[in-house]
Amino acid sequence: MKHLHFLPILCMAVLMTTMCKNQSNQANEPEVKYTGFKSAIITKSYTSEGVNSTEVTYIDNYGDQWFDYLFGVGEESPMMISTATEEYDYYLFPKEKSGWKSKKNDTESIAWMHLTDEVIKRFQIKKIGQEEILGKMCDMYSLVISSHNPVGVDTAWVWQGIELKLNIHSMEMGSGCYLVTDMQIDVPIPAEMITIPEGYDIDER
C-alpha cells in the first residue's frame, strides 16, 4: 500500500506524454488540407484514342506534398514529374540523366476540398450526382477545362479531394479518360519519391 501514491504521478506522466504527442502531430499538420487522408500512392491509367499511359501519384502531409509521375508510351517518351510546390513541370529521361523543365500552367489546378466561387465560375463546376469508384462513393461534377479547347463538358468523380475518374473532351487531346486503378491510403511515402531527382542535366523551355 505504501507505493500507491506513485499511481497518480504515473497516470499524469502518461497523460502529459500523450498530450505532447498529439500537440506535436497537430503542429506538423498543414493549415490547409487538400486531401482527407495523410498519405497515398495512387496509380491511374489514361486512355485517349488508342494511346495508353500510366500516372503514379505520391501524396504526403494531406496533399501539401503532391508528386505526379506520368509515364508515356515507349522508351522515347520522357517521364513527367509535376508537383504541388514547384513552379515547373519536369520531363526527364532516366537512362540519359537529362531532360527539361517548363513553367506549369496553374489555371488547371482544382483544389476540390477548397472550391472557391472564382474556381467554380472559371470551370463552370456543377455537382451532378454520386457514383461508386473502387468501392469509394464519389461526388460527380461536370466542368469545362477551358484551356483544353473544349468540344464538350468534362466529368470528374471526386473522393476525399482526389479525382478517381476524369473524362476529358477537347480539340487538342480528343476524348480521354483518367481512371484510378490502384489506391493505397495512409502508407509510408519514400522520401526519394517526393523529391526532384538530382544529377540530371536539365534545360529550361
Please write the tens of the pLDDT for every residue from 18-41: 334 444 444 467 788 889 999 999
DSSP codes, 92-103 = EETTTTEEEEEE
| Cell output for 133 | 469508384
Residues lower than pLDDT 70 in the chain: 1-28, 72-76, 105-109, 146-152, 171-173
pTM of the model: 0.76
Kindly state the cell numbers that stand for 5.
501514491
Q: What pLDDT does 126 receive?
A: 96
Question: What's the pLDDT score for residue 11?
Answer: 36
Residues 13 and 7: beta-carbon distance below 8 Å = no
What is the SS3 assignment for 16?
helix
Helix runs in the chain, H state only: 6-28, 117-123
138, 130 in Cβ contact below 8 A?
yes
What phi and psi values does residue 203 have, to the nearest 5 degrees?
A: -95, 160
